Structure 1
Amino acid sequence: MPNILAIETSVTAASIALSIGDAPCTSKNFESHRQQNQLLFPPLQQLLELLPDGEKLDLIIIGTGPGSYSGSRISIAAAQGIAAAHACDVVGQSSFLATNTFLDKREAIAVGDARRGSFFIAEVPKTSLPQEPKLMSREDFDAKLTQESRSIFTLDSNIQFADGSSIPLEQPTAEKHILAWHMLSPEDQAVLRNTPPAPTYLRAPFITKAKPGHPLLRGKVNERK
């Protein structure tokens, strides 16, 4: 069995897990917030020190959310540095897969609040990669959930059904990422290996335009050089 490191920092309850051969996973948990760049590295170093002398990682898995963009980005950057030393691949894996719903092989849809008045739904097959999240209005979102017969879950504790009842909440973890990876087909694993890891963006980043009269619009920046 390969040596696999997994990092899940797209959620507040962050975790890191290391699987060495056939041995049980060793995990470290911590709260991920605005100090991810400080909180990630101590537990990461502790796990890497568990690798037997002369052994290296075969794969690093990063949870890509949807969730905290900055959390996923920091983990990807750290993983790429580690991968350079271990000569291994880094793959980005949807956090929808690191859930009990996926590990139990239940066909489901994952839902969440996409902000700016919109919501998303993503189909999560039993043992393969999830579909891209689809954005929709609250009205269409509620109508879709009313008609849905598959299992429904969310990674977002702030979202509810239209009647105010709670949508089942899942907590993705690094250890579940490793278990989910082993459930994927070789074809799906190849897709992830050949896709550069990146956070799951629900929409294009919002870019603030410069106000009229800003130096960038007047060409003043170049004139000062």
Structure 2
Amino acid sequence: MKSILSIDTSTSEGKVALLVDNSVLYENSFTSERSHNSQIFNPLEAALNLCERKPSLIVVGTGPGSYTGVRIGIAASLGISMAKGVKIIGIPSICSAETEKDIRSYSFVGDARRGEAFIVNVKDHELVSSTEIVKSDESLSDKINISLNSVYTFDTGIHSKAIKTKPSAVKLANLAYNIKESEIQRLSLIQPIPLYIRGPFITKPKKIGKTGPKTTSE
């Protein structure tokens, strides 16, 4: 029996899901505008109780998103991983965004702070371009028009063509379920780190943060 615990706290709506043999056994969300630090524990406890407190794999959304939120999700995931001896991998939250069913490629835009935005392209649940900082609404519109993709965002009011959505813990777990075991082994050797667009330091995750994992099926 393969059980995958997924956690995403990159937005104000944190999510936890448990996938067992590719079926959703548990899914819950919790909202906090400031911190997921306390709200995350009850959903995690409920999910762990359904898999004998030791999932086969943990997958955590690495953002980009709330600076504090992403770190809380990763810290909680690492804590369970170390306590239970379970492998853990990170996948960018924007690769698990809720989209229309048949969408395979899309552009993702978001708030980069300082009056700027970012845009990045996603295809088959992988980041296929570098994150680009855009300094004006006009420049962002130009980038969106050039891409010809559907456009999604986790933010409100970022652009008129951007469809507001949110990350999915179930989709995150499904992505992990479809990764080859050899790839899981490789990714589990890389500690998940937040995918920051901008922060005190600009942090670029190793391989997984740039390209996302390779899956065996979509």
Do Structure 1 and Structure 2 share a fold, with TM-score over 0.5?
A: yes
Cα 1:23–1:112 shift into 2, 3 Å: closer
Match of 1:176 in 2: 171
Counterpart secondary structure, 1:92: strand
Unaligned runs of 5+ in 1: 207-225
Contact (CA 8 Å) 1:114, 1:135: kept in 2 or not?
A: yes
Matched-pair contact (CA < 8 Å) for 1:97–1:103: no
Q: Residues of 1 paired with 2:189 and 2:68: CA distance?
A: 22
CA change 1:105–1:10 in 2 (3 A) is same
Shift in CA distance, 185/13, structure 1 to aligned 2, threshold 3 Å: same
The unaligned stretches of length 5 or more in structure 2 are 202-218
Query: What residue in structure 2 maps to residue 49 of structure 1?
Result: 49
For 1:142-173, what per-residue CA distance to the aligned partner results, in whole angstroms no more than 9, with x for missing partners?
A: 2111222122111112311xxxx341122112
Structure 2 counterpart of 1:21, which letter? D
Residue 34 of structure 1 is matched in structure 2 by: 34
Find the aligned partners of 2:113 and 2:186 in 1 and give their Cα distance: 29
Native 8 Å contact 2:89 2:192 kept in 1: yes
Distance 1:127 1:166 in 2: 21
Displacement of 1:186 in angstroms is: 6.1
| 2:152 is the alignment partner of 1:153 | yes
Give aligned pairs, total. 200
Higher strand share: 2
Partner of 2:213: none
Contact 2:120 2:127 in 1 (8 A): no
* Alpha-carbon distance in 2 for matches of 1:183, 1:128: 13
Per the TM alignment, residue 109 of structure 1 is displaced from its structure 2 partner at its CA by 1.2
- The Cα RMSD (Å) is 2.4
In percent, how many aligned pairs have the same letter?
34
Change (3 A) 1:200 1:27: same
- TM-score where L is the length of structure 1: 0.78
Distance 2:139 2:178 in 1: 33
CA separation in 2, counterparts of 1:132 and 1:25?
Answer: 35
> In the aligned structure 2, how far is the partner of 1:88 from the partner of 1:7?
14
SS of the equivalent of 1:51 reads coil
- In the alignment, is the contact (CA less than 8 A) between 2:17 and 2:27 conserved in 1? yes
